[in-house]
Amino acid sequence: MTFIKSDIITENIIKRNPVISLLFGVYPVVAVTVSLRNAVTISEIIIIIMILTGVITAITDRLHNTALTVSVYITIPALTVMTAEAILYTYYPESYTSLGISLPLAATGTVITAYTIQKRNNTDTKNNGINNGIGNDILSSLIHTATAGVGFAAVMIIVATVRELFGRGTLYDIVIFNDYSGIPFLLMPAGALILLGIISAVMQAVTGHDFVRGGERRQ
Amino acid sequence: MTADLIIVVCGLIFADSIIFGSVLGIDTALLFTDKPRRALVFGASVIIIATLSDIITYPLYNYILSPASGAYDIAYLRTALFIAVSAGLTYGISIILKRFYTPLYGEIKGCTYYLYSNGAILGILITYSDRNIGYGMSVLYSFLSAVAALFAMILFADIRSRIASEKQPAAFRGVPSVLLAAGLAAMAFSCVILL
């Protein structure tokens, strides 16, 4: 167990949140969060993919076979999404229809790539050193991917709550504001990105932690 | 014919832009636009992989997997097939580059993991596999969509480099300003739809 630190939860959820401080997994947050129900569904799928891929690539990493690790990294998300598609198509057809192309694209999120397969590049500053010290330890990978997944889901849920409540006047498809015409801008991708930017700025001001990616020039 | 082509190209660059229109590729676009050169290398890689993948996946999906083909009803394998083909191509091309064109491999080395399963590439493949527009047009649209993505990425990389060189309030420095700029860019691209 090489990585587990006492502050890993605050690290992965608040200080170095995958979305608002590192820019990973922005597509699902922008595309899916017009509905809280869809946001919860996609968050669950992505957390499952992250944990499964993180743990299994940690095991295959021990064999020092890059081709095998890459195959696992490609196969696990694709199979998980196919299973999710089958379950939603059979039991929740409305969710399946409303998610549309966002469902298969859940398998391609950068948040999955960044927190799973890039473990080996411990010194890669382009990845902001988020996996530094994890190596191929299974328990560390499990905790690391799970907490990062929770951090990602927290942003999804906050953004979805604001967008659905003020954009349509509903929450989890339940009408909250009667005769409310809504703010259509919030339902557009531009509205989601600006909302994310504001949340990121507020978090940066509150935590005092610099949300500056590796390639960005500090002032 | 030429006028139709210009309208299609303008539509793909602005209204249907996979970066700021349908936002399918915004995930990696935000990661690889911190420097214009990285945006160029990543965008060019997306053009090559998306076009070659569509050449392979369109017939496989429409003549074997799709229920409309009358062969088998195994359309649920679509996501796995598209990811496998694009990842296989990425892996194959990176191996060839590593062996024969080492300097070029050095350029794309940092983004290969993000090309194995990429939202922009998968989005392009899924979008045009469903549209029933014919093999040639599907390949052409995939190529043009990827070129439009490259255009949007270079544009946004330039915006980011200008933002980085300006003085900003402490709270908005770094990621918040990138997200706000992306929001404004998406708004600008949406306005073209209204025009």
Kindly tell me the burial class for residue B11, based on how many C-beta atoms sit within 10 Å of its own C-beta (0-12, 13-18, 19 or more).
middle
Token code pair at residue B20:
């700021």
Q: Residue B178: its chain A contacts at CB < 8 A? A: 23, 197, 213, 216
Which pLDDT belongs to residue B150? 93
C-alpha dihedral over B104, B108, B112, B115, to 10 degrees?
Answer: -110
- According to DSSP, the residues that pair with A170 across neighbouring strands are A175
Q: Do B122 and A107 touch (CB under 8 A)?
A: yes
Among the listed residues A63, A45, A168, the one whose alpha carbon sits nearest the alpha carbon of residue A99: A45
The answer to whether A110 touches A78, Cβ cutoff 8 Å, is: no
Question: From the candidates B53, B117, B129, B194, which should be mutated to test the interface with A, based on the most A CB atoms within 10 A?
Answer: B117
pLDDT tens column, B6-36: 877 777 777 788 898 889 999 889 989 988 8
Would you call A26 an interface residue with chain B, using a CB distance cutoff of 8 Å?
yes
Token code pair at residue A202:
């507020």
pLDDT tens column, A1-58: 445 556 777 888 888 889 998 889 999 999 999 999 999 999 999 999 999 999 998 8
3-state helix, strand, coil in chain A (%, to 5): 70, 0, 30
* pLDDT at B100 > cutoff 90: no
pLDDT tens column, A121-157: 544 445 556 666 667 788 888 888 999 999 999 999 9
Which pLDDT belongs to residue B87? 92
Q: Do B190 and A190 touch (CB under 8 A)?
A: yes
Q: Do A104 and B35 touch (CB under 8 A)?
A: no
Nearest CB to B167 within list A82, A190, A219: A219
Tell me the average pLDDT across B37-57. Answer: 93
Q: How far apart are CA A205 and CA A199, in angstroms?
A: 10
Which pLDDT belongs to residue A216? 46
The answer to whether A46 touches A112, Cβ cutoff 8 Å, is: yes
Would you call A87 an interface residue with chain B, using a CB distance cutoff of 8 Å?
no
Q: Do A74 and B116 touch (CB under 8 A)?
A: yes
The answer to whether A118 touches A131, Cβ cutoff 8 Å, is: yes
Q: Residue A79: its chain B contacts at CB < 8 A? A: 80
Look up the pTM and report it. 0.90
Q: List all residues 6 or more positions away from B85 whose beta carbon is below 8 Å from its beta carbon.
A: B53, B56, B57, B60
pLDDT tens column, A71-101: 888 899 999 999 999 999 999 999 999 998 8
Of A102-111, A123-132, B40-49, the one with minimum mean pLDDT is A123-132
pLDDT tens column, B55-76: 999 999 888 888 776 667 788 8
The per-residue DSSP string of A96-113 comes to HHHHTTHHHHGGG-HHHH
Q: Residue B173: its chain A contacts at CB < 8 A? A: 204, 210-212, 219
